[in-house]
Structure 1
Amino acid sequence: MNIKFDLNITQTQKLIMTQEMRQAIEILQLTSMELNNLIENEIMENPVLEFNEVSIKTLAPETGEAAKEDVNKKDDINWDDYFNSMEPSEYRGQTPTNYDPDEEYGFEKFSYQEKTLNEYLHFQFNMVVEKLSKREIFIGEYLIDCIDDNGYLIVDMDYLQEILESNEENINKIIGIIQGFDPVGVGARDIKECLLIQLRYLGYENDDIYMEIINQHLTDLADNQYKRIAHATGLSLEEVFEFKELIKTLEPKPGREFTNLEGVSYVIPDGSIEIVDGELIVKINEISAPRLKINSFYKGMLKKTDQNEDTRKYLEKKLDGAVFLIRSIEQRRDTILKVIQAIATCQKNFFFQGVEDLRPLTLNSIADMIDVHESTVSRAIRGKYVQTPKGTFALKFFFKRGFNHGEEDLSSDAIKQFIQEMVEVEDKRKPLSDQKISEILKEKNLEVARRTIAKYREALSIQPSSKRKEYR
């Protein structure tokens, strides 16, 4: 065995990701809210950075004849009389007659807080506590806290008996009280009980056959098995159909009428596409990508020759970081602007017409148009939104799979639009099957497989033909 050490020189190409490059990539894929949070943190940590308020055009002073005209108008105003008339009377030493400080209007008198389902149920329960014992009040308050946002009691009886150290009869008594609260159907333990509560409220509690349909044939009713239900209950097909129409008017989730404010989210568009004189104009939202600048005070400190060496090094380090951050944000703005401009060019018909004119589009196509890598486009559209004449959309909305349609391709959203329109006008007694929809699209020179139709139908929350069938 020959073991020896050799020293060789080889030339290779290797891309090394510097810290600055990593930061630039991270900034590109940040959403507008994430970017604003980053900027706020950087400004607090880096004294050299500050917002560039001069770049906001609305803050620029007026010039020319308009400005002179405004000055002349200001000279004509008697400012003493103006301020005297606008000041509250108590500040001028005058107290109006019939003045009551307690009736003074304030912002807090107009504040509003959305009431939750839990709060609403506790409010109703407090109206009946006088008739209950302390033990029953404890049970009722615990049961209300076990009701989820949809209005369902989500714990079983065995657990309740154990945790509340009470028997089933006492617990059911309190559950019955809660089930009498508004909204109707609240406190139910499953969908069947929820519907039964609402039917009793509507006066159907003595109709045993309808109660039987809910308890024994609810799945058949959902699957439009009218003949099976009619044979089992002795009702006519027309009566079964009318009962299903009644069920459709009931609320399967009684608690959802109460808004959950914690789940509300807001979108700040990163850019906008407007139609001006028949042309598409793309703009970047200043709020989503604020501009920064170097503080002039610290910039001047670096020019001083008698500066302390440690102070100079500290300022130079902060200045380098600030410059690179500004560069990265500007590069992000430029990339997003180019991506939106490319999308506007490729999907021009959509902004003038609608979703039926949405064309297939890939990341690679946009990357070739703006001369960047495909991964850069992917990062640029992550979590970004654009405001358009057709509404506000995520940038990824415009990237669609395509289907052959003559000389031009159609996007998957256009196919979904066709499916939606066909289902809306179909004969409900003979609804279109997925295979039939595929055949109709084929007649329009659109080759879409039956399985693809089924997938798009489910995405549109459209039931299969067997469940859309209606008896009239």
Structure 2
Amino acid sequence: MNIKFDLNITQTQKLVMTQEMRQSIEILQLTAMELKGLIETEIMENPVLEFNEVSIKEVVPVNEDGGPLKGEVVQEKPPKEEIQWEEYFHSMENADYRGQTQLSTVPDDEYGFEKFTSQEKTLNEYLHFQFKMLKKNLSEQEKRIGEYLIDCIDDNGYLIIDMDYITSVLEAQEVSIQKMIGIIQGFDPCGVGCRTIEECLLIQLRQMGYDDDEVYLDIVRNHLMDLANNQFKRITQETGLAIEDVYDFKEVLKSLEPKPGREFSSSERVSYVIPDGSIEIVNGELVVKVNDVSAPRLRINNYYKGLLKTPDKNDETKLYLEKKLDSAAFLIRSIEQRRDTVKKVINAVALSQSSFFFEGVGDLRPLTLKTIAEMIDVHESTVSRAIRGKYIQTPKGTFALKFFFKRGYSQGEEDRSSDAIKRLISELIEKEDKKKPLSDQKISELLQQKNLDVARRTVAKYREALMIKPSSKRKEYR
């Protein structure tokens, strides 16, 4: 084996990112809420930073009688009107207001309508309320079983626990547990406390008066998937019902609620976003604005600027101030750069998708990151980071910036976005003959007649994205 050392000179190209560059990139891709949290943290940790909109009054120096010291910065607070809460609530005739004793814990410095709004009742609280009405007729063990079972019901209204586990935990007989399950299943909303979708539908059907119609109840127990797949002939062969009766029964099932607790849990899924900018139509032209709330302006406190200029300070203080000032200056530059980049991206999007803001989704054009990057002279990765988690308010609603970047299909001299194709597919299905619904292949052929070359597989993918069933499940028999 020949072992030797060689010295070679090679030329390579690589990107070396400084800490400042990394922080600038991270700030660019932050959402409005994430940026707000970062700024709040920086202002608490860095005393030289402050909001640009804050009005601060500098107080002249006085002696040691309790007044402000030289150079001290204080913020004047407006006088607050004292509210006589006790007199106010006693004047209200509604007992519901007088019963809200927790309002006395509201901080004196914050008054608002939100402090007096009622909290929505959850499914768990509603079931416990109904159970309390029956407690006087139950034994202590039954009370314990019932309360435990209610706590095991999820937000959809289903009892998500194994029977063997319940019997071992509660040390109770299965007969007693089944009795309490039956009582809870009689609560409102109808179908609550069920363990399967079949049991949920059966509870609701019995309440509608289907107790004696065993043939229909048998369809739910044994042929629910066949019914969902429109296998009406198979069901008629095994039950003896006419195909029209089976179809009518399916319509009845479609009117039932498969998730009884949905009305209680729906409010918890509401989410809010802060638009990073807006596009408005002014005198027939599009005007772009950046939301100051999503990118607040900061500045360096004048007091600390003055401290750095004064000669009578030690080296440790000077080093500390210089470090904090450098950090604050870089953060301000990064936020302003983020603001400028986001505004450029929104401007480019407004220019590229101008037809959408005047007409709607049907005029949405294909758009790529590369196109916007070339328009504003940045890299594609910068555009990708700039649109991450960003929203804009438009005349057609509030949309994520990613919404405007779509794959396209050529239609003669024009292009159509994937959303426009989805809309065409939805319109074709809405106008179809329900007795002879359009197949994916037929929809593809109809789109080709409009000079849109969309494959059958693509039609199927877009149809599923629109949550539209296939033709075999859309067919109606009368």
Deviations 1:298-355 (A, max 9, x none): 0011111222221111111100010000000000000000001000111111111111
Note the 1:9-48 alignment, pairs <5 A: 13-48=13-48
| 2:367 is equivalent to residue 361 of structure 1 | yes
| 2:170 is equivalent to residue 170 of structure 1 | no
- State how far apart, in whole Å, the 1-side matches of 2:464 and 2:15 are: 45
Amino acid at match of 1:160: I
Deviation at 1:114, TM superposition (A): 1.0
User: Secondary structure at 1:258's aligned position in 2?
Assistant: helix
Deviation at 1:11, TM superposition (A): 6.2
Amino acid at match of 2:435: R
Assess if the C-alpha contact under 8 Å between 1:351 and 1:388 holds in 2.
Answer: yes
Give the match for residue 463 of structure 2: 457
Say which of 222, 233, 244 aligns to 1:227: 233
Deviation at 1:194, TM superposition (A): 0.4
Deviation at 1:263, TM superposition (A): 3.7
Amino acid at match of 2:448: K
Assess if the C-alpha contact under 8 Å between 2:48 and 2:301 holds in 1.
Answer: yes
Give the match for residue 417 of structure 1: 423
User: Secondary structure at 1:298's aligned position in 2?
Assistant: helix
- State how far apart, in whole Å, the 2-side matches of 1:9 and 1:222 are: 71
Deviation at 1:223, TM superposition (A): 1.1
Q: Where in structure 2 are there 5+ consecutive unaligned residues?
A: 56-80, 104-114
User: Secondary structure at 2:117's aligned position in 1?
Assistant: coil
Deviation at 1:54, TM superposition (A): 6.8
Deviations 1:66-88 (A, max 9, x none): xxxxxxxxxxxxxxxxxxxxx99
Note the 1:48-127 alignment, pairs <5 A: 48-53=48-53, 102-103=90-91, 108=103, 110-127=116-133
- Indicate how the Cα distance of structure 1 residues 238 and 88 shifts in structure 2: closer, same or farther if over 3 A, else same: same
- State how far apart, in whole Å, the 2-side matches of 1:167 and 1:12 are: 76
- State how far apart, in whole Å, the 2-side matches of 1:308 and 1:203 are: 89
Note the 1:231-242 alignment, pairs <5 A: 231-242=237-248
Deviates more, 1:99-108 or 1:244-253: 99-108
Assess if the C-alpha contact under 8 Å between 1:403 and 1:410 holds in 2.
Answer: yes
Count of residues in correspondence between the two structures: 436
Deviations 1:342-386 (A, max 9, x none): 001111111111111111111011000000000000000000000
User: Secondary structure at 1:387's aligned position in 2?
Assistant: strand
Amino acid at match of 1:45: E
- State how far apart, in whole Å, the 2-side matches of 1:231 and 1:16 are: 73
Assess if the C-alpha contact under 8 Å between 2:155 and 2:265 holds in 1.
Answer: no
Amino acid at match of 1:380: A
Amino acid at match of 1:155: I
User: Secondary structure at 1:254's aligned position in 2?
Assistant: coil
Amino acid at match of 1:17: M
- State how far apart, in whole Å, the 2-side matches of 1:255 and 1:461 are: 22
Assess if the C-alpha contact under 8 Å between 2:435 and 2:477 holds in 1.
Answer: yes
- Indicate how the Cα distance of structure 1 residues 430 and 342 shifts in structure 2: closer, same or farther if over 3 A, else same: same
Give the match for residue 96 of structure 1: none
- State how far apart, in whole Å, the 2-side matches of 1:156 and 1:253 are: 19
- State how far apart, in whole Å, the 1-side matches of 2:5 and 2:439 are: 74
- State how far apart, in whole Å, the 1-side matches of 2:285 and 2:54 are: 29
- Indicate how the Cα distance of structure 1 residues 100 and 389 shifts in structure 2: closer, same or farther if over 3 A, else same: closer
- Indicate how the Cα distance of structure 1 residues 90 and 405 shifts in structure 2: closer, same or farther if over 3 A, else same: closer
- Indicate how the Cα distance of structure 1 residues 297 and 429 shifts in structure 2: closer, same or farther if over 3 A, else same: same
Say which of 411, 423, 434 aligns to 1:405: 411
- Indicate how the Cα distance of structure 1 residues 240 and 20 shifts in structure 2: closer, same or farther if over 3 A, else same: same
| 2:172 is equivalent to residue 160 of structure 1 | no
Assess if the C-alpha contact under 8 Å between 1:400 and 1:411 holds in 2.
Answer: yes
Assess if the C-alpha contact under 8 Å between 2:373 and 2:380 holds in 1.
Answer: yes
Deviations 1:112-149 (A, max 9, x none): 11111111101101110111110011111111111111
Assess if the C-alpha contact under 8 Å between 2:156 and 2:265 holds in 1.
Answer: no
Give the match for residue 275 of structure 2: 269
Say which of 200, 220, 241 aligns to 1:194: 200
Deviation at 1:4, TM superposition (A): 6.5
Assess if the C-alpha contact under 8 Å between 2:367 and 2:405 holds in 1.
Answer: yes
Assess if the C-alpha contact under 8 Å between 2:438 and 2:471 holds in 1.
Answer: yes
Q: TM-score by structure 2 length?
A: 0.87
Deviation at 1:221, TM superposition (A): 1.1
Deviations 1:82-114 (A, max 9, x none): xxxxx99989xxxxxxx7863457894933111
Deviates more, 1:157-166 or 1:277-286: 157-166
Amino acid at match of 1:119: E
| 2:417 is equivalent to residue 429 of structure 1 | no
Amino acid at match of 1:116: T
User: Secondary structure at 1:462's aligned position in 2?
Assistant: coil
- Indicate how the Cα distance of structure 1 residues 310 and 218 shifts in structure 2: closer, same or farther if over 3 A, else same: same
Give the match for residue 148 of structure 2: 142
Deviation at 1:231, TM superposition (A): 2.2
- Indicate how the Cα distance of structure 1 residues 306 and 221 shifts in structure 2: closer, same or farther if over 3 A, else same: same
- Indicate how the Cα distance of structure 1 residues 26 and 439 shifts in structure 2: closer, same or farther if over 3 A, else same: same
Assess if the C-alpha contact under 8 Å between 1:116 and 1:260 holds in 2.
Answer: no
Note the 1:201-212 alignment, pairs <5 A: 201-212=207-218
- State how far apart, in whole Å, the 2-side matches of 1:232 and 1:297 are: 88
Amino acid at match of 2:217: M
- State how far apart, in whole Å, the 2-side matches of 1:360 and 1:172 are: 58
- Indicate how the Cα distance of structure 1 residues 189 and 4 shifts in structure 2: closer, same or farther if over 3 A, else same: closer
Say which of 386, 389, 394 aligns to 1:380: 386
- State how far apart, in whole Å, the 1-side matches of 2:335 and 2:322 are: 20
- State how far apart, in whole Å, the 2-side matches of 1:13 and 1:324 are: 27
User: Secondary structure at 2:265's aligned position in 1?
Assistant: coil
Deviates more, 1:255-264 or 1:350-359: 255-264
Deviation at 1:259, TM superposition (A): 3.2
- Indicate how the Cα distance of structure 1 residues 319 and 110 shifts in structure 2: closer, same or farther if over 3 A, else same: closer
- State how far apart, in whole Å, the 1-side matches of 2:84 and 2:15 are: 72
Say which of 383, 391, 405 aligns to 2:397: 391
Deviations 1:143-182 (A, max 9, x none): 1111111101111222222222222211110000000000
User: Secondary structure at 2:393's aligned position in 1?
Assistant: strand
Amino acid at match of 2:18: T
Assess if the C-alpha contact under 8 Å between 1:192 and 1:214 holds in 2.
Answer: yes
Q: Where in structure 1 are there 5+ consecutive unaligned residues?
A: 56-86, 92-98
User: Secondary structure at 2:279's aligned position in 1?
Assistant: strand
Deviation at 1:13, TM superposition (A): 4.8
Q: What CA RMSD, in Å, does the superposition of the two structures yield over aligned residues?
A: 2.3
